[in-house]
C-alpha cells in the first residue's frame, strides 16, 4: 500500500501532540494559579514576625498566653473558654470591670466615713435639743394643778423658768430632762396670763422653751371689770394716808375701817372722821375694808357726810362692794345695789328697801369705796370712764368730807 506524505505526517505526529498538550495544560494551570495571589506576593513565602508575635493568616499577631490558642482571631483557652472572660487588658477590665477601686466601693460604697456614720450619723454625744413646751390645761383656776410637758435630747439637766419658779412642784420631786412635771397654781394667783417654761443645759449650752398658762381666779375681784380706774392710786398710810383728825395722820391706814374709827362697822356711830385727798393729782381713791360679823338682817344704818373746815366738799361716787376700788355700776348693782353719786347725801344700808339701801349680808368682807369726780353714775358706767374732779387737782384745794358711819 502506498501512503501519501500527508498520511505519514499525521501518523507520526500523534504521540508528540499528546505530550505538547499535557505540557500546555500544566503551564496554563500554573499560570492561572499564580495570578490568583495578590500582585507581587510570593505564595510560598513565610512572614518574619518580631519577638512576641506570630504569623496568622499572613499577618503578625500577638502571641497567645500559655495554655491558649488562637481561633477566629481570638485567643482561647484550650478548654474552650473565651479570653474575654479572663480579662486581658481590653476584655477583662482589670481596672474597670473588676471594680477593684470603683465597683468594690472600698472608699465610696462601703461608706467607711459617710455611710456608717462614724462621725456624721452616729454623733449622739454632740446632739442637744429641747422640744416645745406645752401646758395641760392651758386655762386653769387658781388653786388647781397644771401639767407641763416637754422632751430634750443630750441635756445634762433641766429646770423650770418663768412663773413656774414661783409655783410649787407636786410631781415628781424634782424636774428631770423630760416631762411631764405637775405644778400647783397658788390659790392667791391673780387672774392673768403667765409665761411658763423649761430651760435645759448641756456642756454649758442652754436652750429654753416657753408657753403661756391663763389663770382664772375664783375671786370675782380679780376680774378686769372689777378693777379700780386705771392710773388711780389707793390711799393707805404714810404720805398716802387719807385721815386728818386735826392734821394729817401718817400712822392711820386708810385701807382698814378700824384704823380710822375706834370700833367695828356694825357698832360704829357718834365718831365722825375727816377724810380727804393728799395729792393734787386728784386721782386717789379710798377703799376701806370692813366686815359684817354679827350684822342683824333687820338692822339699818347709813354713812352720813358733812362739810368740814380744812377740806372742800365736792361731788363724789361712793359704793359698797365686795371688791376694793370697785366702781363698776352693773356688777355692784347685781351684788349689793350700792353705788351712788353724792355731794353730802348719806349712803344708806340694810332694811328691805333695796332701791334706796345697800344690801349687806352678815359675816362678809366689804369695802367702802370713795373717789371725787363729776362723772355721772348710770347703767353701763365702767371704771375706764371715770375722770378725776378738776377742782380737786388745784394746788390750793384739798377735797374731803366728814364721814360718820352709824346705826339708825
Range of the domain at 345: 221-407
Clarify whether residues 268 and 152 are in a common domain: no
Q: Is residue 354 part of a domain?
A: yes
CATH for 138: 2.60.40.10
Residue 71 phi/psi, 5-degree rounding, is -145, 125
Q: Which of 175, 202, 218 is the last residue of a domain?
A: 218
Clarify whether residues 143 and 203 are in a common domain: yes
Clarify whether residues 208 and 252 are in a common domain: no
Clarify whether residues 281 and 402 are in a common domain: yes
Q: Is residue 18 part of a domain?
A: no
Clarify whether residues 262 and 146 are in a common domain: no
Q: Which of 218, 233, 260 is the last residue of a domain?
A: 218
Mean pLDDT over 75-96 rounds to 47
Clarify whether residues 229 and 191 are in a common domain: no
Q: pTM for the whole thing? A: 0.54
Q: What is the pLDDT of residue 125?
A: 58
**Nearest residue to 380 (alpha-carbon basis) of 323, 336, 339:** 339
| H/E run at residue 30 | helix 5-35
DSSP state of 302: E
Q: Which residues contact 358 (CB under 8 A, 6 or more apart)?
A: 320, 336, 337, 338, 347, 348, 349, 350
In angstroms, the CA 125 to CA 115 distance is 18
Q: Is residue 44 part of a domain?
A: no
Cell numbers for 218, please give them. 375664783
Clarify whether residues 146 and 173 are in a common domain: yes
Lowest mean pLDDT of 70-79, 134-143, 156-165, 334-343, name the range: 70-79
Query: What band does 42 get if pLDDT is binned at 50, 70 and 90?
Result: very low
List pLDDT tens digits, range 248-262.
999 999 999 999 998
β-pair type (284-291, 233-234)? parallel
β-pair type (192-202, 134-136)? unpaired
Clarify whether residues 185 and 226 are in a common domain: no
Q: What is the pLDDT of residue 150?
A: 97
**Nearest residue to 302 (alpha-carbon basis) of 352, 328, 265:** 265
Q: Which of 171, 188, 218 is the last residue of a domain?
A: 218
Q: Are 272 and 403 in contact (CB under 8 A)?
A: yes
143: left (phi over 0), alpha (psi -120 to 50) or beta: left
Q: Is residue 2 part of a domain?
A: no
Residue with grid cell 510560598, as numbered in its chain: 44
Lowest mean pLDDT of 9-23, 187-201, 209-223, 392-406, name the range: 9-23
List pLDDT tens digits, range 64-75.
877 777 777 777
Mean pLDDT over 367-390 rounds to 93
Beta strands (DSSP E) in 154-204 are: 157-162, 169-171, 181-184, 192-202
Q: What is the pLDDT of residue 47?
A: 65
Cell numbers for 6, please give them. 500527508
Clarify whether residues 363 and 238 are in a common domain: yes
DSSP state of 62: E
Residue 151 pLDDT > 70, yes or no? Answer: yes
Clarify whether residues 196 and 330 are in a common domain: no
Highest mean pLDDT of the ranges 87-101, 196-210, 304-318, 333-347? 196-210
Q: Is residue 275 part of a domain?
A: yes
Q: Quick check: helix, strand or coil at residue 229?
A: coil
Lowest mean pLDDT of 3-17, 294-308, 353-367, name the range: 3-17
Residue 44 pLDDT > 60, yes or no? Answer: no
β-pair type (233-234, 205-216)? unpaired
Question: Within a 10 A sphere around the Cβ of 290, how many other Cβ atoms?
Answer: 22
Q: Is residue 67 part of a domain?
A: no
Domain count, the chain: 2
Radius of gyration of the chain (CA): 60
Mean pLDDT over 80-91 rounds to 42
Clarify whether residues 364 and 250 are in a common domain: yes
Rounded alpha-carbon distances, angstroms, from residue 1 to 4, 9, 11, 13, 369: 10, 16, 15, 20, 192
Count how many residues are written for the chain. 408
Please, what's the largest Cα pairwise distance for the chain?
Answer: 212
**Nearest residue to 405 (alpha-carbon basis) of 270, 242, 291:** 270
Query: What band does 96 get if pLDDT is binned at 50, 70 and 90?
Result: very low
List pLDDT tens digits, range 289-331.
999 998 887 888 999 999 998 899 999 999 999 999 999 999 9
Q: Quick check: helix, strand or coil at residue 56?
A: strand
User: What does the DSSP assignment read for 75-113?
Assistant: EEETTS-BHHHHT-TTTT-TTTTS-TTTTS-TTTTS-TT
Question: Within a 10 A sphere around the Cβ of 84, how many other Cβ atoms?
Answer: 14
**What are the residues facing 367 on neighbouring strands?**
289, 321
Q: Is residue 46 part of a domain?
A: no
DSSP state of 320: E
In angstroms, the CA 6 to CA 25 distance is 27
Residue 394 pLDDT > 60, yes or no? Answer: yes
Highest mean pLDDT of the ranges 108-112, 351-355, 376-380? 376-380
Q: Is residue 249 part of a domain?
A: yes
In angstroms, the CA 309 to CA 247 distance is 11
In angstroms, the CA 286 to CA 236 distance is 8
Clarify whether residues 345 and 240 are in a common domain: yes
Amino acid at each position: 500500500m502506498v501512503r501519501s506524505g500527508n498520511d505519514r505526517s499525521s501518523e507520526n505526529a500523534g504521540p508528540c501532540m499528546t505530550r505538547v498538550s499535557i505540557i500546555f495544560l500544566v503551564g496554563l494551570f500554573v499560570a492561572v494559579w499564580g495570578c490568583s495571589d495578590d500582585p507581587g506576593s510570593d505564595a510560598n513565602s513565610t512572614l518574619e514576625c518580631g519577638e512576641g508575635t506570630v504569623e496568622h493568616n499572613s499577618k503578625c499577631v500577638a502571641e497567645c498566653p500559655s495554655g491558649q490558642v488562637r481561633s477566629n482571631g481570638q485567643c482561647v483557652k484550650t478548654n474552650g473558654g473565651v479570653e474575654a472572660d479572663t480579662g486581658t487588658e481590653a476584655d477583662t477590665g482589670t481596672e474597670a470591670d473588676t471594680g477593684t477601686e470603683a465597683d468594690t466601693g472600698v472608699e465610696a460604697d462601703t461608706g467607711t466615713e459617710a455611710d456608717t456614720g462614724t462621725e456624721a450619723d452616729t454623733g449622739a454625744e454632740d446632739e442637744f435639743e429641747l422640744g416645745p413646751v406645752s401646758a395641760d390645761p392651758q386655762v386653769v383656776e387658781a388653786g388647781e394643778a397644771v401639767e407641763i410637758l416637754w422632751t430634750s435630747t443630750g441635756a445634762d439637766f433641766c429646770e423650770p423658768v418663768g412663773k413656774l419658779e414661783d409655783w410649787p412642784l407636786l410631781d415628781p420631786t424634782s424636774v428631770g430632762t423630760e416631762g411631764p412635771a405637775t405644778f400647783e397654781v397658788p390659790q392667791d394667783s391673780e387672774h392673768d396670763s403667765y409665761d411658763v417654761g423649761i430651760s435645759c443645759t448641756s456642756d454649758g449650752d442652754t436652750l429654753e422653751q416657753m408657753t403661756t398658762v391663763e389663770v382664772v381666779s375664783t375671786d370675782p375681784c380679780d376680774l378686769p371689770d372689777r378693777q379700780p380706774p386705771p392710773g388711780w392710786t389707793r390711799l393707805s398710810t404714810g404720805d398716802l394716808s387719807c385721815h386728818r383728825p386735826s392734821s394729817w395722820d401718817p400712822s392711820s391706814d386708810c385701807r382698814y375701817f378700824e384704823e380710822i374709827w375706834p370700833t367695828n362697822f356694825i357698832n360704829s356711830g357718834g365718831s365722825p372722821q375727816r377724810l380727804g385727798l393728799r395729792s393734787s393729782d386728784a386721782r386717789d381713791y379710798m377703799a376701806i375694808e370692813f366686815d359684817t360679823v354679827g350684822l342683824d338682817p333687820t338692822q339699818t344704818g347709813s354713812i352720813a357726810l358733812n362739810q368740814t373746815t380744812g377740806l372742800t366738799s365736792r361731788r363724789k361716787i361712793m359704793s359698797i362692794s365686795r371688791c376694793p376700788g370697785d366702781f363698776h355700776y352693773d356688777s355692784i348693782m347685781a351684788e349689793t345695789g350700792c353705788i351712788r353719786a353724792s355731794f353730802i347725801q348719806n349712803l344708806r344700808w340694810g332694811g328691805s328697801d333695796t332701791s334706796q339701801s345697800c344690801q349687806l349680808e352678815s359675816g362678809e368682807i366689804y369695802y367702802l369705796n370713795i373717789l371725787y369726780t363729776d362723772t355721772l353714775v348710770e347703767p353701763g358706767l365702767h371704771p375706764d370712764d371715770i375722770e378725776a374732779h378738776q377742782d380737786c387737782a388745784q394746788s390750793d384745794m384739798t377735797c374731803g368730807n366728814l364721814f360718820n358711819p352709824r346705826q339708825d
